[in-house]
Structure 1
Amino acid sequence: MSNALLEYLTKRMGHQQTYSDKNKLPGPLITISREVGCNGVKLAHKMTDKLNSRHLGPEWKVLSKEVFFQSAKELDMEPEKVKRVFMYSDTYGFNDILNAFGTKKFKSEKKVIKTVNEVICTFAKEGFCIIVGRAAHIIAHDIKNALHLRLLAPLEYRIKTIIDNNHLNREEAIEFINKVERERKAFRKAIRQESPETDLFDLCINRASFNDEEAIDLIVTAAEKKGIFNDYGKQFDFY
């Protein structure tokens, strides 16, 4: 089990973590929304390496698929089935999908959405994490000490990235991009049933214009300028 999940379970069971202050404000948090082919998860891991090598607080972590793992644990479902609820929400009703699984562990659409929201919200409030995707910028829009990013890139850049990462040809890469974008759109649409907040980002970065190190420098500078580290009683030295 990952450290992130252990920390989450500890909080849910009401135990205080060794580094936590019960009066600590939610965060600090970074969320990354991205177009398919922008290497958001890879960038996030490089960013946590930099944060963990320079700051004086708890260890930063990257969260993405962990959201489905923890939600599935709380719902007593398989992670893939939780994910599929959101993937196909544009075409079918949630209850139709879940009933089609033929499982005794049926959960209503409201229960699935509520649980996923709570898991993301708990991770976000605990802070010291970068949440990639999962509409975290919507769910955590009210957290003061958060930086919300959007990664964009021209289509040709993203096609090349997908070809390189997944060893696909051009047609397969385009099909992959379209498929994943539809799934992400469906997820955001489902989440908005609980939170009507529109997409608002603090910073948008064109991945074709900046390499990883340059992008990370921009993000860290934006985080400092927004002051997301200021309320935690420790100084963060990035340079």
Structure 2
Amino acid sequence: TEMSANRKIAAENTQHVLAAVDKGGVVLGRNGALVLGKVVGAMHIRLIAPLGKRIERVIHTTGLPASEAAEQCRAEDRIRAEMSQALYRWNPNSDESYDLVINTGSMTYQQIVDLIVDMYQRKYPGYQSLPGYGFSGNTGHDATN
């Protein structure tokens, strides 16, 4: 049945997220804010931007025409929300599951990284990054493009 298939997919996704956490690092999407919930050391961040800015970014990175880029953005929003609801019965667009919500529409990637690092260090004041896994350095990207 669809319900048992959804349970299997959710269980596999949860195992994937938990395995990634064992290695350390960043979990992008995959309902990580819900799966990792109150895991000590985790920080849940939601990155948002106005639809127009997101469409511009898709055009810039893919070369799609504006109408197709707009449809891609809307479809991804819809599909991600539907999957979260079907698999986990939660709304990923609700800010309640996140420590920090950042509107990236007018920020550079470096500004976003700096904000996240600062928030993480405030949430976990004793944190020391491992060699090679530090947060410093320029990403070379500009989120405003």
If the TM-score is normalised by the length of the shorter chain, which range does it land in?
0.7 to 0.9
TM-score with structure 1 length normalisation?
0.48
Gaps of 5+ in 1: 1-92, 96-106
Question: Aligned residue for 2:142?
Answer: none
Gaps of 5+ in 2: 137-145
Q: Deviations over 1:43-65 (max 9, x none)?
A: xxxxxxxxxxxxxxxxxxxxxxx
Aligned length: 130
Kindly report which structure 2 residues correspond to 1:146-165, keeping only aligned pairs within 5 A, or say none.
146-165=42-61
Deviation at 1:143, TM superposition (A): 0.3
Deviation at 1:121, TM superposition (A): 2.2
Kindly report which structure 2 residues correspond to 1:58-73, keeping only aligned pairs within 5 A, or say none.
none
Identity of aligned residues (%): 25
Work out which of the residue numbers 209, 212, 218 in structure 1 matches 2:109: 212
Deviation at 1:115, TM superposition (A): 1.9
Deviation at 1:130, TM superposition (A): 0.5
More helix by share: 2
Question: Aligned residue for 1:173?
Answer: 69
Q: CA separation in 2, counterparts of 1:187 and 1:202?
A: 22
SS of structure 2 residue aligned to 1:123: helix
Structure having greater relative contact order (Cα 8 Å, sep ≥ 6): 1
More strand by share: 1
Checking the alignment, whether the CA contact within 8 Å between 1:134 and 1:187 is kept in structure 2 is no
Checking the alignment, whether the CA contact within 8 Å between 2:7 and 2:87 is kept in structure 1 is no
CA 1:224–1:176: 2 relative to 1, 3 Å: same
TM-score with structure 2 length normalisation?
0.76
Q: Which has the greater radius of gyration?
A: 1
SS of structure 2 residue aligned to 1:131: coil
Deviation at 1:191, TM superposition (A): 3.2
Work out which of the residue numbers 35, 38, 53 in structure 2 matches 1:142: 38
Q: Provide the alpha-carbon RMSD of the alignment.
A: 2.6
Q: CA separation in 1, counterparts of 2:43 and 2:27?
A: 11
Q: CA separation in 1, counterparts of 2:91 and 2:104?
A: 28
